[in-house]
Amino acid sequence: MKADLLITDCRLATMAESGEPYGAIEDAAVLIAGGRILWTGPRADLPPHQAARTDRLDGRWVTPGLIDCHTHLVFGGDRSGEFEQRLGGAAYEDIARAGGGIVSTMTATRAASEDALYAAALTRLAGLKASGVTTVEIKSGYGLDHDGELKMLRVARRLGAEAGVRVRTSYLGLHAVPPEHRADRAAYVNKAVDEILPAAHAEGLVDAVDAYCEPIAFSTDEVARLFDKARALGLPVKLHADQLSDGGGAALAARYNALSADHIEHTTEAGVQAMAQAGVVAVLLPGAYLMLRETTPPPVDLLRRHRVAMAVATDCNPGTSPVASMTAALNLACVQFRLTPEEALAGATRVAAKALGLADVGVIVPGMAADLAVWDIERPAELCYWLGKPLLHARYLAGVADR
């Protein structure tokens, strides 16, 4: 068996559903060829092989590279002033209605060049990579016009090509109504659905279609129009659903067989049941819950009862979740939502891959991409236990080490 790389003297948290906690293998080895996992198992069972290189990890733990399946990583400007306002008692909805929130980021994003947006996104991406991330989803939604939305998506594609991560893009044209369309929101919906999305898709910039379904954003009828267009273009959908109120977002996501429904703090049992029947992943976003000082958590017990898979993501964005660490998100998911460390780590690997429609990342088994994270820890639960402690020893993307 010929291999490019042998990783040995390590402990694996494969995150495969093997019956062992974390899919763990003690004293393990991994063979990698052509950027993919060729073999994995106990070191004592290594088959005859020839490896061009060997990395000995001195007993360190190895997990799949973490997957951040919900971010708004590309944007212009800063909203620390709104952070101060919220700490002073202002509600997020009031700030948004007064012209702040998403619209203020829109103004800064439209004014920024692609190079400026790329440089700013790199600084945030550095935090994600330092916390073990190898795959990241990036949404548009701060351009809110033809040029701005395509500019954001081009920057996201560039990050995937140049910045040492895999990137999946989501078109989020229905994020907010831009000021120039406030008097005729229907005209903006038409433009977002019938003009901007087809143009972005034609340029190869869209992997999935997303929307913000809330009373302060877009209705289920408006989102359904967008999702119908996505379906016609052969694109999967996902949804910001039921974050601030029960608006039927989870049920809408289920109706369109969405990859995921995200936030879902106010989703009812009927919505959870609909998600379960349609195989929709629940993406939990504890950073936004923390920053908005919410008091209604996602219905985790219902999700468990109905066997809805739960992913965890940072929701990295300038207004409601300035979180640029995946391990911080794991900690918050455990502390705030009472996920177990194993649930949380599955939510950042195996389940997060499902939330992005990816079949070749998220577990350490033969045939998968060799995207790995190596950690200076003694137990996998430490990835959810520590808040702010550097834990990453190395990342491998397609079998290439990044230390």
- Is residue 92 part of an annotated ligand binding site? no
Q: Which residues pair with 310 in a beta bridge?
A: 282
- Is residue 273 part of an annotated ligand binding site? no
State CA 339 to chain mean position distance: 17
State CA 202 to chain mean position distance: 24
- Is residue 317 part of an annotated ligand binding site? yes
- Is residue 85 part of an annotated ligand binding site? no
DSSP 84-142: HHHHTT--HHHHHHTT-THHHHHHHHHHS-HHHHHHHHHHHHHHHHHTTEEEEEEE--S
Q: SS3 for 74? A: coil
End-to-end CA separation in angstroms for the chain: 27
- Is residue 263 part of an annotated ligand binding site? no
Count H helices, E strands: the chain?
16, 15
- Is residue 393 part of an annotated ligand binding site? no
* Spatial separation of the C-alpha atoms in residues 41 and 168, rounded to whole Å: 30
Q: Which residues lie below 8 Å from residue 182, measured CB to CB, with a gap of 6+?
A: none
DSSP 218-249: B-HHHHHHHHHHHHHHT--BEEEESSSS--SH
* Spatial separation of the C-alpha atoms in residues 9 and 27, rounded to whole Å: 6
Give the DSSP letter of residue 35: T
- Is residue 70 part of an annotated ligand binding site? yes
Which own/partner pairs from 34-37 qualify as long-range (CB within 8 Å, at least 24 positions apart)? 34/4, 34/399, 35/369, 35/370, 35/398, 35/399, 35/400, 36/360, 36/367, 36/368, 36/369, 36/370, 36/398, 36/399, 37/364, 37/365, 37/366, 37/367, 37/368, 37/369, 37/370
- Is residue 266 part of an annotated ligand binding site? no
- Is residue 240 part of an annotated ligand binding site? yes
* Spatial separation of the C-alpha atoms in residues 148 and 162, rounded to whole Å: 21
Annotated binding site for Zn(2+): 70, 72, 240, 315
Annotated binding site: 70, 72, 79, 142, 175, 240, 243, 315, 317, 319-320
Annotated binding site for Fe(3+): 70, 72, 240, 315
Annotated binding site for N-formimidoyl-L-glutamate: 142, 317, 319
Annotated binding site for 4-imidazolone-5-propanoate: 79, 142, 175, 243, 320
